[in-house]
Amino acid sequence: MGRSPCCCHDAGVKKGPWTEEEDKALVEYIQRRGGHVGSWRGLPKASGLNRCGKSCRLRWTNYLRPDIKRGNFTDDEERLIISLHAALGNKWSTIATQLEGRTDNEIKNYWNTHIRKKLLRMGVDPVTHQQLPPDHIIDGASPSGTLLPESLLWAAAAAALGGGLDTGAIMQAQLLQQLLHAIGSNNTTTNLIANLAASNAMLNSGGGIVPNLLLQDQMNMLSTGANYLQPSYLGNISSFPEQNMVHQQQLISSPAPGTSSSAGAEPADQHCDTAAASVSHAASPAPVEEFAGLLEPMMEMEMPGLCSLESDSFWKDILGDSYRF
């Protein structure tokens, strides 16, 4: 694909930090045009700036735009970033759309300078959001690189969504996580239904994904009841080290995967592994139909808002993908 030579390579174009005068010229020019830039490439000439159009765009979108929120990130914002990163990876621009007033560059910087280190300190791989092996925790180096089931699930969800991110879609993906977990664990049907009902009620209770992620009491619910798709360490970010110790102890004392009989109180990550392991060796010819059979008892219950497998191809597609993994 032919790529045009960038004006940034012109010898006379200024680089480096912007001056107040340049900022003023850029802001005034854009404001004169009612906030509509038109062509960034033509902007420098039209505004009298000796800058690359690309540089102008960056300066505007990352710094000068009037709706940019400055200042420290709140705990809620931090939690949201981690959750979204667990779901989306380094899709900073997509993540930025969920944080009003924050730019992708700002979030990316904050991730690299704060959150990433914090996760490493507590023994969580910032790439996979899974617990690091004990010998990796101290130095925080060399993430496992293994794409774990939760990531695969999210990848499938993201693919099914066509790369878009909307509240309902995330909620569906989260409910799917719950469903897969329920299948993978040795739940009784009653527990399965209770689990699903809990997560479904939670999904239906909020106005959107953001409130669901942010409300502390709901976060507490996650760690004590329903296995929602939040990294388990999100329950209380301020006590990462303490939580890590508890988690380590759980890992040491917990029975081998697949032998757990408790339904709800364990970290979602572990359950996800179990669920996916169960799912992955399910060599049945028609996993989606089999799954539909599991759901049959629930269909007699009142679960408003829970989509049906017959009517929602979203579920079929993702489940199919998940089984293929």
Q: Tell me if 125 sits within 8 A of 143, measured CB to CB.
A: yes
Closest by CA to 37, choosing from 58, 18, 14, 12, is 58
Q: How far apart are CA 297 and CA 290, in angstroms?
A: 13
Smaller CB separation from DNA, 155 or 292: 155
Binds DNA (CB under 7 A): choice among 77, 78, 106, 266: 106
Compose the 115-154 pattern: x for residues touching DNA by CB under 7 A, - for all others: --x-------------------------------------
Examine residue 1 and tell whether it contacts DNA (CB under 7 A): yes
Smaller CB separation from DNA, 105 or 191: 105
Q: What is the DSSP letter of 139?
A: T
Q: How far apart are CA 172 and CA 317, in angstroms?
A: 12
Q: 248 - beta bridge partners?
A: none
Q: 131 - beta bridge partners?
A: 124
**124 phi/psi in degrees, rounded to 5:** -110, 130
Tokens 């040491």 sit on residue: 252
Tell me the closest approach of the beta carbon of residue 164 to DNA, in angstroms.
Answer: 11
Examine residue 41 and tell whether it contacts DNA (CB under 7 A): yes
Tell me the closest approach of the beta carbon of residue 79 to DNA, in angstroms.
Answer: 17
Q: Tell me if 247 sits within 8 A of 130, measured CB to CB.
A: no
The interface with DNA within residues 14-33 (CB under 7 A) comprises 14-18
Examine residue 59 and tell whether it contacts DNA (CB under 7 A): yes
Tell me the closest approach of the beta carbon of residue 155 to DNA, in angstroms.
Answer: 14
Examine residue 112 and tell whether it contacts DNA (CB under 7 A): yes
Binds DNA (CB under 7 A): choice among 27, 65, 76, 110: 110
AA identity, residue 314: F
Examine residue 104 and tell whether it contacts DNA (CB under 7 A): yes
CB under 7 A: which stretch of 85-93, 253-261, 275-283, 293-301 binds DNA? 85-93
The CA distances from residue 255 to 15, 54, 239, 249, 274, in Å, are: 59, 55, 26, 12, 12
Examine residue 91 and tell whether it contacts DNA (CB under 7 A): yes
Tell me the closest approach of the beta carbon of residue 44 to DNA, in angstroms.
Answer: 10
Site residue total, DNA (CB under 7 A): 41
Helix ranges (H only) for the chain are 20-32, 43-47, 53-59, 75-88, 92-97, 104-110, 116-121, 134-137, 149-160, 167-184, 189-205, 209-214, 216-224, 240-253, 268-280, 287-299, 313-324
Tell me the closest approach of the beta carbon of residue 158 to DNA, in angstroms.
Answer: 11
Binds DNA (CB under 7 A): choice among 93, 216, 220, 313: 93
Tokens 């939760």 sit on residue: 150
Smaller CB separation from DNA, 146 or 249: 146
| Residues near DNA (CB under 7 A) | 1-4, 6, 8, 14-18, 37-42, 52-55, 57-59, 62-63, 90-94, 104-106, 108-110, 112-114, 117
